[in-house]
Amino acid sequence: MSLEAASLLVLLGIAVGGVGTLVGAGGGFLLTPVLLLVYPHDSPRTVTAISLAAVWANSTSGTLAYARQRRIDLRSGVVFGIATLPGAVGGALLVRYVPRHVFDGLMAAALAAVAVLIAVRGERPHARESGSLRVVVDRRGGEWRYRVPEARGVLYSIVVGFASSFLGIGGGVFHVPILVTALGFPTHIATATSHFVLSLMSGAGVITHAFEGSYRIGNGLRRSIALALGVAVGAQAGAHVSTRVQAVWIERLLAAGLALVAIRLAFAM
């Protein structure tokens, strides 16, 4: 891989890392479709392995930034993160058997479905009468009180773990809407907690791909390193900007990005 190509991947990583951290989705929802378009001859196995490595770097860097802001619901994050692990390993193993054209179609459909879900769901109150009480106080003194139905969250996380690892998008693109819509998390807490869960989930996928030899194909390892460097930097910027952006704009940005990428990927099939 040339120095010019590596530099472009670093810049791509910075952009994806910034946006991914801002919306709590880890950047894989943008990176995987972009890699599918840039490398049309690579297998889904190679593309998802590279993307998951970048998602791991992004989510880990973002987690550190959000931890400094004290916006992570650690109790929920640990429970949901552990629940994603079996699916994350299974998805990484299964993707090698899927033809490229089928994978492209599944990716476009998944992104479009989540975009519609976010766009039509409307605002919902965070207060719930049942579930485990959470109280999160951030570094600036902001306080969030909400209740979490943990058993339901575990079931969702099992499914998200498989789908995200299989598609190579990390899972935040699914997890943030679920945390907000189905589990009652405030948006800013959802984005931070999602990054923590992503770091566990994507890490399991990366380890599985490494044992499977996915990074030995082509320039997989070099591409992964270049993208990881970029997203680690972008994640810090995204977390910083998130403190200055209203929750509703974070959700709108996420929905618009998903819709645009889904349309572009569908036309490329």
pLDDT of residue 135: 92
Distance of CA 200 to the CA centre of its chain: 11
Q: Are 195 and 21 in contact (CB under 8 A)?
A: yes
pLDDT of residue 75: 94
Q: Are 72 and 233 in contact (CB under 8 A)?
A: no
pLDDT of residue 121: 56
Report if pTM > 0.85: no
Number of residues in the chain = 269
Helix (H) or strand (E) holding 133: strand 132-137
| Distance from C-alpha of 108 to C-alpha of 127, rounded to nearest angstrom | 34
pLDDT of residue 84: 92
Those residues with Cβ within 8 angstroms of residue 49's Cβ, 6 or more apart along the chain or in another chain: 92, 168, 206, 209, 214, 215, 220, 224
Taking CA atoms, 232 is separated from 184, 235, 257, in Å, by: 29, 5, 20
Would you give the end-to-end CA distance of the chain in angstroms? 26
Enclosing domain of residue 221: 3-268
Q: Could you read off the pLDDT tens digit of each residue along the chain, which spans 269 residues?
A: 677 778 888 888 888 777 766 665 556 777 777 888 788 888 888 888 888 888 888 788 888 888 999 999 999 999 999 999 999 899 889 988 988 888 878 878 877 877 776 666 554 544 556 788 999 999 888 899 999 999 999 999 999 889 888 887 766 677 887 888 889 899 889 888 988 998 999 899 899 989 988 888 767 788 888 888 887 788 778 777 766 766 567 667 667 767 776 776 676 65
Instruction: Please report how the helices 247-268 and 28-38 are oriented relative to each other, as an axis angle in degrees rounded to 10.
Output: 20
pLDDT of residue 125: 47
pLDDT of residue 72: 94
In the chain, the number of structural domains is 1
| Distance from C-alpha of 184 to C-alpha of 153, rounded to nearest angstrom | 10
pLDDT of residue 265: 65
Q: DSSP string covering 54-107, please?
A: HHHHHHHHHHHHHHHHT---HHHHHHHHHHHHHHHHHHHHHGGGS-HHHHHHHH
